[in-house]
């Protein structure tokens, strides 16, 4: 009987050790995966931004180094990130909000390594949550809610309101240029008090990062670091998008209701003699390719100009699509099979949970077995 009990105990101990090893390997492998990037780090933009399979790894468990594009679908919370080498990851953002009712709910940096998202702890507080695509970490900038990235991603344009900007009473504030690494305010410009100050507020950096263009309602203002600038009334036109400056910095593009792009001289704010560029109503100018503007039009990325074309497209039910400015200039290719991340990163939670459950079940069985054997031995001793 002792021999049989010994064998049973050894079996349970082996099971416990196996469960512990399973949980440890899953956890440690997941931690290792969090510091890796896909092996195929090609510089080409897939023409189709694929759907994430159900077993896709989350970004925090398997970072991808950078993202070419990010899109949201019906639930608005889950984001899909497309990276080099057909890498695809998902990220569940803790908050769905916007800086302005005419602005995006997320802002992908030009190089695709950071994603800025508005964070409103209260109606009187506007912060920025920054997701680091390279390692999955998140930090908060408290200077304001995001509006635009500089071309080198070292600066972030944010909006700060003095009070709740969603009310009918006039509210003022500031647009602030902050250091994207430290959150320190480098310089700022006032936002004049307006009713519903949150309405129609967008911004764009100059290519060299020394000036910003800010639209608030029908007013477009250019601010420079030296304090100079100008202000014009746009009527029905609006700032064309985060890449509204031409690459040479001489022209700022605005869009009319038909989607046509018109130029303003950045030195004076006056219209330029350049012919308007045919565009798409409601689109956003996100970059340049061979000197021609590129816009996001719903779920499609379009090249405008003399040879218009669709560069890439996300799923039909996409509600918001963000594309890294640098990515729109990359060579195009057909997509391959989605690279959904390492096995241990995708199934880390069930592996750890399963290993822990095995340990608990084995320990409980061993305790019951030993207690039963102890009781049986006591009974036999009492009889004799």
* Nearest CA-CA partner of 283 in 104, 101, 158: 104
Query: How open is the CA angle 284-184-117, to the nearest 5 degrees?
Result: 35
Q: Is pLDDT larger for residue 344 or for residue 313? A: 313
Nearest to 312 by CA among 31, 15, 82: 82
Question: Can you count the helices (H) and strands (E) in the chain?
Answer: 3, 25
Q: What is the pLDDT of residue 43?
A: 87
Rounded mean pLDDT of 149-174?
A: 94
User: Is the model's pLDDT at 76 over the cut of 70?
Assistant: yes
pLDDT score, position 60: 94
Whether the pLDDT of residue 40 is over 70: the answer is: no
- What percent of the chain shows pLDDT beyond 90? 69
* β-bridge partners, 174: 160, 190
> Span 94-100, mean pLDDT?
89
pLDDT on residue 235? 87
Kindly state the DSSP code that residue 48 receives in the 8-state scheme.
Answer: B
Q: Decide if pLDDT at 34 tops 60.
A: no
Per-residue pLDDT of 237-283, as tens digits, reads 999 999 999 999 999 999 999 999 999 999 999 999 988 999 999 99
Q: Is the pLDDT of residue 32 over 80?
A: no
Distances (CA, A) of 177 to 44, 109, 111, 115, 309: 31, 15, 19, 17, 34
Instruction: Supply the pLDDT for residue 101.
Output: 82
Q: In what order do the strands lie in the sheet with 114-119?
A: 107-108, 114-119, 127-132, 138-141
133-149 per-position pLDDT tens digit: 999 999 999 999 999 99
Give the pLDDT confidence score for residue 366 in this predicted structure. Answer: 55
Asked if pLDDT for residue 379 goes beyond 50, the answer is no
The model's pLDDT over 348-366, given as tens digits with 9 standing for 90+, comes to 445 445 445 545 655 555 5
Q: What is the mean pLDDT of residues 71-100?
A: 93
330 vs 10, more confident = 330
* 160 sits in which H/E element: strand 155-161
What average pLDDT does range 43-51 have in this prediction? 96
Residue 154 predicted with pLDDT over 60? yes
pLDDT at 298 over 50: yes
Mean pLDDT, residues 98-115 taken together: 93
Distance CA 66, CA 108 (A): 10
**CA–CA distance, 324 with 64 (Å, rounded to integer):** 14
Quickly state the pLDDT bin for 200 (edges 50, 70, 90).
Answer: confident
> Does residue 107 sit in helix, strand or coil?
strand
Structure confidence at residue 283 (pLDDT): 97
Residue 91 has pLDDT above 60, yes or no: yes
- Considering the chain, what percentage of its residues have pLDDT values greater than 70? 78
So what's the pLDDT on residue 383?
40
| Cα angle value 101/104/106 (rounded, 5°) | 135
The span from the CA of 20 to the CA of 361, in Å, is 12
Q: Is the pLDDT of residue 66 over 50?
A: yes
- How far apart, in whole angstroms, are the C-alpha atoms of residue 370 and residue 384? 22
| pLDDT at 124 (0 to 100) | 87
- Res 233 pLDDT > 80: yes
- Mean pLDDT score, 146-168: 95
Distance between the two ends of the chain, CA-based, in angstroms?
18
Q: What is the mean pLDDT of the chain?
A: 85
Cβ pair 118, 128 in contact under 8 A: yes
């Amino acid at each position: 009987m002792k021999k049989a009990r010994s064998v049973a105990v050894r079996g349970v101990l082996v099971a416990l050790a196996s469960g512990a090893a399973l949980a440890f390997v899953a956890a440690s492998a997941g931690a290792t995966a969090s510091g890796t990037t896909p092996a195929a780090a090609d510089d080409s933009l897939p023409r189709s931004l694929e759907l994430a399979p159900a077993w896709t790894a989350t970004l925090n468990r398997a970072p991808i180094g950078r993202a070419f594009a990010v899109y949201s679908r019906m639930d608005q919370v889950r984001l899909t990130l497309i990276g080099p080498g057909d890498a695809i990851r998902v990220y569940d953002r803790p908050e769905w909000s916007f800086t302005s009712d005419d602005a995006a709910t997320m802002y992908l940096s030009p190089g695709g390594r950071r994603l800025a998202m508005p964070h409103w702890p209260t109606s009187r507080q506007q912060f920025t949550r920054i997701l680091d695509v390279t390692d999955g970490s998140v930090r908060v900038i408290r200077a304001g809610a995001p509006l635009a990235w500089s071309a080198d991603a070292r600066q972030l344009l944010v909006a700060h309101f003095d009070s709740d900007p969603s009310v009918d009473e006039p509210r003022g504030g500031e647009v602030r240029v902050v250091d994207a690494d430290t959150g320190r305010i480098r310089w700022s410009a006032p936002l004049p008090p307006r009713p519903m100050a949150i309405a129609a507020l967008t911004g764009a950096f100059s290519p060299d990062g020394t000036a910003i263009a800010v639209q608030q309602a029908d007013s477009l203002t250019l601010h420079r670091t030296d304090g100079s600038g100008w202000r014009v009334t746009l009527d029905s036109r609006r700032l064309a998008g985060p890449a509204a400056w031409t690459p040479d910095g001489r022209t700022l593009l605005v869009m009319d209701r038909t989607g046509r792009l018109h130029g303003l001289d950045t030195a004076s704010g006056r219209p330029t003699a350049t012919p308007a560029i045919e565009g798409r109503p409601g689109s956003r100018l996100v970059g340049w390719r061979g000197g021609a503007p590129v816009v996001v039009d719903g779920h499609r990325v379009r090249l405008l100009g003399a040879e218009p074309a669709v560069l890439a497209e996300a799923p039909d039910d996409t509600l918001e699509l963000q594309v890294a400015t640098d990515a729109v200039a990359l060579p195009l290719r057909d997509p391959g099979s989605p690279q959904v991340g390492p096995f241990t990163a995708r199934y880390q939670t069930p592996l750890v949970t399963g290993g822990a459950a095995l340990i608990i079940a084995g320990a409980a069985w061993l305790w019951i077995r030993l207690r039963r054997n102890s009781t049986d031995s006591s009974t036999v001793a009492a009889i004799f």
